[in-house]
Amino acid sequence: MNPFSLAGRKALVTGANTGLGQAIAIGLAAAGAEVICAARRDCDETLRLIAAAGGTGSYLRLDFADPMAARDVFGGAGFDILVNNAGIIRRADAVEFSEADWDDVIDVNLKALFFTCQAFARDCLARGAAGKIVNIASLLSFQGGIRVPSYTASKHGVAGLTKLMANEWAAKGINVNAIAPGYIETNNTEALRADADRNRAILDRIPAGRWGRPEDIAGTATFLCSDAAGYLHGVVLNVDGGWMAR
């Protein structure tokens, strides 16, 4: 059997309507998984691309502004894979940052992620089934960044929770790992790429010499969801063109 195949697996990918989530959903489907695309907006484009790749997918509306949005999603539904990609960002100087922007980001990026993982793990443990969780962290799981205090705090938290959950669940058949994407061509980085000075400064530090593409993250996520990654637990894997090695 191909250890990289996801045939017969059922996956939930959050924030699957665009960007990294969309690419991950397509990648998992192309590897054979049935993919449920969860987002607060429609995933019609993602589903068309999944079908074009020969895969199977469907849409589930979830808005993680409610951190408990997925509490009832997993029970009895037979999910094998969870990819926590949904996330938001707010930008302002630390001295001006509002409580609302702090709470909004922490609720979606950290609190919702934890309680979604909890609901998924509870179902796996109740069924005695193996499971794969992949959380989307960030370079700001390691670095401080500028003007994104709640995002930085949330992504440091994602890295820590990934390790904690791996410690508790590894021996119970649930792999919990994370991907820390580098600078990827998505909606979140559009402003950076449009700023000629910032764009050049970023490219000058990336050994690969280019911005990442969503597909670069999709391949890593597919691997982490496969049996080939069966002995990986608590890893926060940089997919950054060499940024953190510089």
Radius of gyration of the chain (CA): 17
Selection from 232, 228, 222 nearest residue 25 by Cα: 222
Give the Å distances, CA to CA, from 41 to 16, 84, 90, 100, 148.
9, 16, 19, 22, 24
Number of H helices, E strands in the chain: 8, 7
What the block records as the tokens of 187 is: 């909606």
Of 59, 151, 183, 231, which is the active-site residue?
151
Give kind and range of the element (H or E) at residue 118: helix 112-127
In whole angstroms, what is the distance from residue 225 CA to residue 14 CA? 15
59 noted as active-site residue: no
Planar angle of CA 235, 27, 173, nearest 5 degrees? 40
Catalytic residues: 151
